[in-house]
Amino acid sequence: MQITDESVFTMNRRDILKILGITVGASLIPDILTAKETAQQTANTAVEAFTGYNNFYEFGMGKLDPGRRAQQFDTTNWTVDIKGMVKKPTTLSMAEMHTLFGDEERIYRLRCVEAWAMVVPWKGFALHKLLQHVGVQDGAKYVVFTSAADPKQMPEVKRQSFPFPYVEGLRLDEAMHPLSFLATGAYGKALLPQNGAPIRLVVPWKYGFKYAKSLATITLTDKEPDTTWTTYSAEEYGFYANVNPDVPHPRWPQSEENIFGPKGVNDSVRQPTLMFNGYSEVASLYAGMDLVKNY
Ligand SMILES: Nc1nc2c(c(=O)[nH]1)N[C@H]1C(S)=C(S)[C@@H](COP(=O)(O)O)O[C@H]1N2
Ligand SMILES: [Mo]
């Protein structure tokens, strides 16, 4: 199986600039890996970077593939099944979720395990609202998030180039934390297909690969699930995946990141990565746990 490494070092800077409509000679392409270190960047990342520089392997392994190939992805009449160890197994439409759980904006940092980051104004609702609505059975300990996998609409699902469907999971207490979020929009609009329309997970203290896109099912279970990334490469990608500057990826450090600014991906600054991506209010979830072992 040949896939693109989850590595910042594989970024094609010429491609990145194309997102911005900039064509320049090789010598003028800024080296994002040597950008000057500054204080934490807080301005929202350019929407063009959010919608043009993506990881969504169902539509291709390249950063520009989802933006190019996902445009026809049909999300009309979308429903999410909530099943497993719940009191009321339920299927909800987007309109039903909107009525039941409302809509709020959350500006969060997104830190990819590849060491790039963005500041994203999401729209959506807290995950615990949905879990409370369906009722969690006693004994349930984990929540599993499964993305849609439609070979008719997703070229890499058809090719089976990666272990689809994409599956992620959280411990129940992580899922119930007020920061855990289901996003249906960003930058004031409904999510575009490349960003996981019409609904995707957002867990800001964890690496971006936890943020499963285009959710089809949410399943409560009493066992830690195998996920796409723990199945694919358990030594590199753990179940917890908490942002942690002290635990390097086997192939690159995690102590710093390139965060994309208001002008896009060539407007990045290099800044130190913070424990839990700066969301230190989640620390008590891991009291007494060895976060080097449980990476
Ligand atoms: N279904 C699915 N969800 C996914 C991915 C994917 O390939 N497939 N990539 C993940 C990774 S590695 C990251 S960093 C984020 C990127 O989200 P964005 O493209 O909206 O910024 O989505 C995550 N969710
Ligand atoms: Mo990622």
Q: CA Rg, the chain, in Å?
A: 18
- The per-residue pLDDT for range 190-200, each reduced to its tens digit, is 999 999 999 99
Three-class DSSP category at 122: strand
Specify the residue with its C-alpha closest to ligand 1, atom 8.
56
At 210-250, the pLDDT tens digits run 999 999 999 999 999 999 999 999 999 999 999 999 999 99
Q: Which ligand is nearest to the CA of 55?
A: 1
Residue 59: CB within 6 Å of ligand 1? no
Q: Assess whether the C-beta atom of 208 lies below 6 angstroms from ligand 1.
A: yes
> Is the separation of the CB atoms in 10 and 254 below 8 Å?
no
Rounded Cα distance between 81 and 92, Å, is: 7
Separation of alpha carbons 155 and 169, rounded Å: 24
> What is residue 202's predicted lDDT score, i.e. its pLDDT?
99
Give the pair of three-digit tokens for residue 112: 């990819």
Name the least confident of 13-17, 71-75, 183-187. Answer: 13-17
Q: Is the minimum distance from the CB of 166 to ligand 1 under 6 angstroms?
A: yes
CA-wise closest residue to 47 among 116, 121, 158, 137: 121
Q: Does the predicted model carry a pTM greater than 0.85?
A: yes
Q: In this structure, which ligand is nearest to the CA of 118?
A: 1
Task: Give how far the C-alpha of residue 137 lies from the chain's centroid of Cα atoms, to the nearest Å.
Answer: 27
Residue 12 confidence (pLDDT) above 50: no
Q: What is the pLDDT of residue 40?
A: 87
Q: Ligand 1, residues 56, 75, 199: which to mutate, most atoms within 8 A of Cβ?
A: 56
pLDDT at 27 (0 to 100)? 42
Residue 57, ligand 1, Cβ within 6 A: yes
Report the C-alpha gap between 162 and 29 in whole angstroms. Answer: 32
Residue 259 Cα, ligand 2 centroid: separation in angstroms? 13
Q: What token pair was written down for 172?
A: 């129940």
| Digit-coded pLDDT (tens) for 256-281 | 999 999 999 999 999 999 999 999 99
Query: What is the number of other CB atoms lying within 10 angstroms of the CB of residue 161?
Result: 16
What angle separates helix 127-134 from helix 94-101, to the nearest 10 degrees? 100
Q: Which residue's CA is the closest to the ligand 1 atom numbered 19?
A: 54
Q: Are 5 and 115 in contact (CB under 8 A)?
A: no
